Amino acid sequence: MPTYKAPLRDVRFLLNEVFDYPAHYAGMPNGKDADPDTVDAILDECAKFCEEVLAPINLSGDEEGCRIENGAVTTPKGFKDAYEQYVAGGWQGLSHPAEYGGQGLPMSMGLFKTEMMGTANWSFNMYPGLSLGAMNTIMQHASDELKNIYMPPLTEGRWTGTMCLTEPQCGTDLGQVKTRAEPQADGTYRITGTKIFISAGEHDLAENIVHVVLARLPDAPAGTRGISLFIIPKHRPAADGAVGEFNNVVCSALEHKMGIKASATAVINFEDSVGWMIAEENKGLEAMFTFMNTARIGTAIQGVCHAELSFQGALAYAKDRRSMRALGGKKEPDKVADAIIHHADVRRMLLTQKAVAEGGRAMIYFAAQYADHMTNGIVENDARKYKHWDDKLGFLTPIMKGFLTEMGLESANQGIQVFGGHGYIKEHGMEQIARDARIATLYEGTTGIQALDLLGRKVLVMTRGGAVREFTGMIAKFAVEHMANAKMRRYATPLARYAAEWNVLTMRLMLMARKDRDQVSAASHHFLMYSGYVTMAYFWGLQAAVASDKLANGGKESAEFYKAKLATARFYFDHLLPRAKGHASSMLKPSRSLTKLPVEHFAFE
Amino acid sequence: MPTYKAPLRDVRFLLNEVFDYPAHYAGMPNGKDADPDTVDAILDECAKFCEEVLAPINLSGDEEGCRIENGAVTTPKGFKDAYEQYVAGGWQGLSHPAEYGGQGLPMSMGLFKTEMMGTANWSFNMYPGLSLGAMNTIMQHASDELKNIYMPPLTEGRWTGTMCLTEPQCGTDLGQVKTRAEPQADGTYRITGTKIFISAGEHDLAENIVHVVLARLPDAPAGTRGISLFIIPKHRPAADGAVGEFNNVVCSALEHKMGIKASATAVINFEDSVGWMIAEENKGLEAMFTFMNTARIGTAIQGVCHAELSFQGALAYAKDRRSMRALGGKKEPDKVADAIIHHADVRRMLLTQKAVAEGGRAMIYFAAQYADHMTNGIVENDARKYKHWDDKLGFLTPIMKGFLTEMGLESANQGIQVFGGHGYIKEHGMEQIARDARIATLYEGTTGIQALDLLGRKVLVMTRGGAVREFTGMIAKFAVEHMANAKMRRYATPLARYAAEWNVLTMRLMLMARKDRDQVSAASHHFLMYSGYVTMAYFWGLQAAVASDKLANGGKESAEFYKAKLATARFYFDHLLPRAKGHASSMLKPSRSLTKLPVEHFAFE
C-alpha cells in the first residue's frame, strides 16, 4: 500500500521558483494574509493531516465502503473522526470569506489543499469537495438572507453540501431534467423528483446536508432554458440556525461502484421538499455553470493525485523488487538480481507517472492564479474582471480536466504494471488507485464533453481560434526567449513548432467545420489530447528553464532536484509529447470516417 | 449487463473468405475431420453454450467470487453446473488426440472456442484454459507411461491442470525459483515449496488437479539452468486410474484481486508432495516454454474477448441512450434527443472497440494457421517443421500478446466511457470488463516482457531483423498488389510506407543497440506498439481487400457487412494507425532519456 508523502519540495518549486506566488498574493486584495510564512505553515500542516489522518484510511475505506440502512448512510471506519479533525482544523473555510467564518485566503490555496487531500484519500476528499461546490454556488447566487443561514455552517463544515444535477434519464443533457418545483405562497417551493449519482448525498459526517438542485417550474419552457436552481436542505434550518424539521429528502439507495467506494454516491428522492430558489428563474443552468471552471479544475486535480500516489507506490516497489539484470550490465552484482528500477522500460513507466504528476501540478498551479483573479472578480462584483479571467481559465479548463484525468488513469495503470501480477492484488493498493481514477474521466463532464467544450465552444464559436492564438503566443514567446540557450534549445525548438502547428490545425478545422459541423465532434477528442500534450510540454519547458537557470547560477543546494527536473522534462519531450503527432494527423481526417457507417450496421450476427 | 452474441458472421468471414480455412484444413493430416460442415456445426454449438450457459453467470460470478474454507475452494453459483456441461459436451478434448479421448481436431479450433468462451465469461475460461496449458506440456514432454495416466482424465475434463511457475520472490525472473525436489529411490521426487498466483490452483469443478511445477534439484546449478519440471497431482492416481491418496498439495489462500474474481488464484504449498519429472533434468524452463507461444496466443485472445464484449454492451447502450443533438443536425427529431450513437465522438469510441475486436480476431485467425502447422510438427515428431512454424509464430506472439491485451484494456475502458457515469456502476457490467481485462497485460509475461522478447530476442538477437524483413515483405507484396485498385489505394499506400519504415526503424535500433544495450529496453515498448499498429493495419487491409472484392463482384447478400468492413478499415487507418507515428519517433530517442536519472533522485520530499 503506497505510503503518501506530500511532495512539498515540488510544491514549493512551483510556488516560489516557477510561478512567483509571493508576488501574486501580494498583488491581491485578499492576498495579504497569504504571506510566504503563513503559506508555508499551512502547507506543512495540510501535509501532516493528509499523511497522518487521511492516507491511513484510504485502503480500508475502499475495502469497507459505505453502508445504507433505512436511508441512513454509514461511512467507513475512521472517516467520521477524520472529518471531525478536518472541521476542527478550519480547513473547509480556508478560501472562503471571513464574514462567514472562513479564513479568507485566496482560492488557489484551496486547490493546493485539494491536491494533497485527494492524493491521500480521494474518497474522503469528495465530501468536503462537493460541499465547496455548493458553497461557491450559494456564495455567488443566493440572497444575503440565504447566505447568512447557510454559509456559516457550511464554511465551518458542520453542514455539508451537494450538487444535484443528474437524473436517471439525463446527465450530460440537463435540458431533460424532470424534477418539478411548485411555487408556494410564502415564496418557497415544493420540490419533487429523483436525482442520481449524488456524491456525498447522504452520510454520517455532518448534522445537515444542503442540496443545490436543478428543477423545473410548472410553466417553464422546455429544455435548458426552463431550469431553475434551488437550495433544499435535508433538515430545514430552525430559527436559531440549528438543525430543524426533516425536509423529506430521502436517500433511497447507494450505487455499487467500481471505485471511490468510501464516497457515498446516493440516489436522492425529494418528496414535496421545501426549497428556496437561488439565481434567476429559468436561468439555473447558467448559474450552476458559473463556478464550473473551478469545479472542473477540482476534478482535473484528481488526475495529478492518482498519478502522484501511484508513482509513490510504484517507485518504492521498483527500488525493492529484484528481477533479471539491466541490459546495459549488472547494476547490483552482489544481489540475486537488479532492482527493477534499473530496467529502462520500468523507468519509462515511472517517468510517465512522474512527468504527468509534476507536469499536471504545474498546469494546476498556473491555472490557480487565473482562478484567484476570477474569484476576486466575483467578490469585488467586477463583471469585466470576472469575465476576463474566467475566459482565460475557460480555455485551460477542458484541457486540464480532459487531458489530466485521462493521463491520471494511464499513470495509475502504469503503477499496476510496474508491480506486475502483484499490482492486480488488492492488498498492495495499486489497483484501487486505477479504480478510483476511472471515475475522473466520467463525472463533471466526460472527456468527450470536455473535448466538445474546448473545440466547439471555447475555440471555434466563442473566439474563432483566438483562444489558441493567445495561448500559443505565450508558448512561442517563451520558445523564442530560450532558443539561444544551448541547454534549452531541445525544448524551445519543438515548442515553437507545436505552437505554430496548433494554430494551423485550428484554422484547418475551422474551415472544415464550416462545411461540416460533424467535423467538430469527429476531431474533438484528438484536438483535446493534442492540446493537452502541447500544453503540458509548455509547462515542462517552463520548469526546465527555471531548473536550468538555477543550475547555471550555482544553485548547489538543490542541484539534484533541478537535474531531476531536467531529466523528467527531457523524458516528457522524448516519450510523451510525440503522441501529439498521431492526434494531429487524425483530427484532420474527414468526419465521414466516423459518420458513414449506418447505425444498424455496426454489428452482424 | 452486456448480452453476449457470438460474432459468427465475422468468424465465418475470416474462416472462409479471408484465410480459406477449408483449404488449410484439407491440407492437414488431422484436418480431414474439420470439414466445413463439421466446423460450422461446432461453431454453432459452441456459440450456443457460450451464450446460454457461460454468459449468464459472468456478472454473478464477479459479484460472488470464489471462497476458501479449510483449504477447499468453492466457485460461484452455476460454475460447477456449467463445467459439467462443458465436460459432457466433450469441449476440453476438442483439439487433443483421439487416443486419449479427444476429438483430434486442429489446434486452431481450440483457439476459436477459447475466444467465444472467454468473451462470454473469461473467469470461467481460466479453468479449462490452464488445463489446456498443462495438457500441452504433458503431451510434449512426459513419458508415455505418464501420458497414459494423466491425459485421459485431463482430456475428458474430469481432472484439470495448472502451471505452477511463480513464487513470492519471482515471476518474470524464474531463475530465482526456490521450490526443491528431492529424488527418491523409486524414481519419483519429493517436492516442497510455495507457489503463488496459481490460476485454477484449487476449486470444486473437478475431482483432481494436476500441477505442472517448476522446481530445483538439490545439486542443480543456480539460475535458469538448474530448473526441472514436474507433475504433482493433488491426489495421487490409484492403480485403476481413479483418484487416490492426498498428495499434501495444500491451498493456503486465495488472492483478492481487482477482477477475474470467479477465477480462483491460489497460493499452493507443496509439502513433501510426490512428483514425477517430465522433460530433461535442469531443462525444465525450456520445456515449460515450448508451448509458450500457444499459451500466449490464448492470452492475446483475451484482448479480443474484452474488446468484443465491451463493444456489444456499449453498442446497445449507444443506440438506446438519448442525449443532445448530433452536431450535423437532428437525427431523431421526434425524440427528446438523439441516441448517442449519432455523435461522431461516441462513434469514435465504438469503432475503436470494433476495429480492435475484429482486427485482433483477424490476427488470431491468421496466427492460428501457424499454430496448426507448429502443433503438427510436434505430433509428427518433425523437428524442422516444428521449428519453422514456431519461429514464424514466435515473431507474431509477443506482438499479439502485448498489443492486443493493451488494446483490449483500452477498448474495455472505452466501453465504460460510452456509458458515461453509468459505466462506473457495477450492475451494468461494463466496469467488470475493464477489471477483468486489466490482468491480461500482466500475466503470461507483462507487456514489457513481450516487448523485450520481440525486439531483443526475436528481432535483434535471433534474426538480426530478418523476422521484420519477412513479415513486412508480405505486407509490401500485398500493398503492391492493391496499389492500382482505386478503392484499395487508401490502404495500400500507407501499408507500403509503414512496411518500409518498420525495416528502417529496426535497422537503426540494431545500430544503436550495438553501442548501447540499454537502447533495446528503452525502445522496446514503442517498438512493440508500433509493430502492433502496423500489423493490425495489414489485417485490416486484408479484410478491406476481400470486402472490396466481394462488393465489386456483386456480393449483394452480405453487401452491408462488407461495407461495414470497409468503413471500419477506414476508421482504423484514420484514427488508430496514426498513433504509430509517436512510437516511431520515441523509439529512436537515446536511452539516456530514461537511464540518466539516478535511482535516488526520482523523488524529493
pLDDT, tens only, A325-381: 999 999 999 999 999 999 999 999 999 999 999 999 999 999 999 999 999 898 888
pLDDT above 90 covers a percentage of chain B that reads: 95
Tell if the CB–CB gap between A567 and B597 is shorter than 8 Å: yes
Residue B316 has pLDDT above 90, yes or no: yes
Give the nearest partner residue to A257 out of B425, B521, B575, using CB atoms: B425
Per the CB < 8 A criterion, the answer to whether B163 and B444 are in contact is: no
In chain A, what residues touch B604 (CB-CB under 8 Å)? 7, 9-10, 560-561, 564
Nearest-CA distance A438 → chain B (Å):
8
Nearest-CA distance B321 → chain A (Å):
8
Among residues B63, B182, B444, B560, the one annotated as catalytic is: B444
Tell if the CB–CB gap between B345 and A255 is shorter than 8 Å: no
Q: What are phi and psi of A162, to 5 degrees?
A: -140, 170
Give the nearest partner residue to A439 out of B344, B424, B448, using CB atoms: B424
What's the whole-number mean pLDDT along residues A60-79?
Answer: 98
Tell if the CB–CB gap between B435 and A439 is shorter than 8 Å: no
Kind and range of the H or E run holding A527:
helix A518-552
pLDDT, tens only, B591-603: 999 999 999 999 9
pLDDT, tens only, B102-161: 999 999 999 999 999 999 999 999 999 999 999 999 999 999 999 999 999 999 999 999
- How many CB atoms are closer than 10 A to CB B45? 13
Residues 6+ apart with CB under 8 A from A130: A160, A161, A162, A163, A199, A200
Measure the CA–CA gap between B247 and B464, rounded to whole angstroms.
48
What's the whole-number mean pLDDT along residues A470-482?
Answer: 98
Task: Select from 2.60.40.10, 3.20.20.300, 2.40.110.20, 1.10.10.10 the CATH code of B8-288.
Answer: 2.40.110.20
Per the CB < 8 A criterion, the answer to whether A278 and A141 are in contact is: yes
Three cell numbers at A494?
519543438
Three cell numbers at A152?
456559516
Per the CB < 8 A criterion, the answer to whether B159 and B128 are in contact is: no
**Does B167 qualify as catalytic in the annotation?**
no
Tell if the CB–CB gap between A173 and B322 is shorter than 8 Å: yes
Domains B8-288 and B291-444 share a fold: no
Three cell numbers at B140?
510434449
β partners of residue B251: B268
pLDDT above 70 covers a percentage of chain B that reads: 100
Q: Give the residue from chain B lying closest to A8, CA to CA.
A: B605
Cα–Cα distances in angstroms (integers) from residue A423 to residues A119, A362, A429, A431, B585, in the given order: 18, 28, 8, 6, 29
Residue B372 has pLDDT above 80, yes or no: yes
Q: Output the pLDDT for position B295.
A: 82
Nearest-CA distance A387 → chain B (Å):
27
Residue A411 has pLDDT above 70, yes or no: yes
In chain B, what residues touch A601 (CB-CB under 8 Å)? 560-561, 563-564
Q: Output the pLDDT for position B160.
A: 98
B291-444 falls under which CATH superfamily? Answer: Butyryl-CoA Dehydrogenase, subunit A, domain 3 (1.20.140.10)
Tell if the CB–CB gap between A319 and B599 is shorter than 8 Å: yes
pLDDT confidence bin for A555, thresholds 50/70/90 = low
Averaged pLDDT of chain B:
96
Q: How far is CA B570 from the centre of its chain?
A: 26
In chain B, what residues touch A597 (CB-CB under 8 Å)? 347, 351, 563-564, 567-568
Show which residues of A are catalytic. 444
Give the nearest partner residue to A431 out of B258, B593, B601, using CB atoms: B258
Per the CB < 8 A criterion, the answer to whether A55 and A3 are in contact is: yes
CB pairs under 8 A between A and B: 306
Ranges assigned E (strand) in A103-157: none
Nearest-CA distance A386 → chain B (Å):
29
Q: Pairing relation of β-strands A208-215 and A189-199?
A: unpaired
What's the whole-number mean pLDDT along residues B406-410?
Answer: 98
A291-445 falls under which CATH superfamily? Answer: Butyryl-CoA Dehydrogenase, subunit A, domain 3 (1.20.140.10)
Tell if the CB–CB gap between A311 and B603 is shorter than 8 Å: yes
Nearest-CA distance B416 → chain A (Å):
9
pLDDT confidence bin for B555, thresholds 50/70/90 = low
Measure the CA–CA gap between B96 and A261, rounded to whole angstroms.
46
Give the nearest partner residue to A323 out of B173, B319, B567, using CB atoms: B173
Q: Output the pLDDT for position B293.
A: 76
Tell if the CB–CB gap between A257 and B426 is shorter than 8 Å: yes
What's the whole-number mean pLDDT along residues A91-109?
Answer: 96
pLDDT, tens only, B138-151: 999 999 999 999 99
- How many CB atoms are closer than 10 A to CB A581? 22
Measure the CA–CA gap between A39 and B132, rounded to whole angstroms.
62
In chain A, what residues touch B575 (CB-CB under 8 Å)? 526, 586, 589, 593-594
Tell if the CB–CB gap between B579 and A582 is shorter than 8 Å: yes
Three cell numbers at B468?
521484420
pLDDT, tens only, B562-571: 999 999 999 9
Per the CB < 8 A criterion, the answer to whether A486 and A550 are in contact is: no
Nearest-CA distance A99 → chain B (Å):
36
Give the nearest partner residue to A599 out of B312, B322, B341, using CB atoms: B341
pLDDT confidence bin for A133, thresholds 50/70/90 = very high
Tell if the CB–CB gap between A409 and B413 is shorter than 8 Å: yes
In chain B, what residues touch A347 (CB-CB under 8 Å)? 594-595, 597
Residues 6+ apart with CB under 8 A from A395: A454, A458, A459, A463, A467, A470, A471
Residue B204 has pLDDT above 70, yes or no: yes
Q: Give the domain ranges of chain A.
A: 8-288, 291-445, 452-594
Cα–Cα distances in angstroms (integers) from residue A14 to residues A167, A445, B599, in the given order: 40, 28, 23
Residue B313 has pLDDT above 90, yes or no: yes
Q: What secondary structure does DSSP assign to B425-445, as a single string?
A: BGGGSHHHHHHHHHGGGTSSS
In chain B, what residues touch A448 (CB-CB under 8 Å)? 343, 345-346, 349, 417
In chain A, what residues touch B448 (CB-CB under 8 Å)? 343, 345-346, 349, 417
pLDDT, tens only, A189-240: 999 999 999 999 999 999 999 999 999 999 999 999 999 999 999 999 998 8
* Burial class for A467, CB neighbours closer than 10 Å (0-12, 13-18, 19+): buried
Tell if the CB–CB gap between A594 and B344 is shorter than 8 Å: yes
Q: Output the pLDDT for position B239.
A: 86
What's the whole-number mean pLDDT along residues A49-63?
Answer: 98
In chain A, what residues touch B327 (CB-CB under 8 Å)? 456, 517-518, 520-521
- CA-wise closest residue to A540 among A356, A415, A412, A399: A356
pLDDT, tens only, A424-446: 999 999 999 999 999 999 999 99
Q: Output the pLDDT for position A132.
A: 95
Per the CB < 8 A criterion, the answer to whether A41 and A55 are in contact is: no
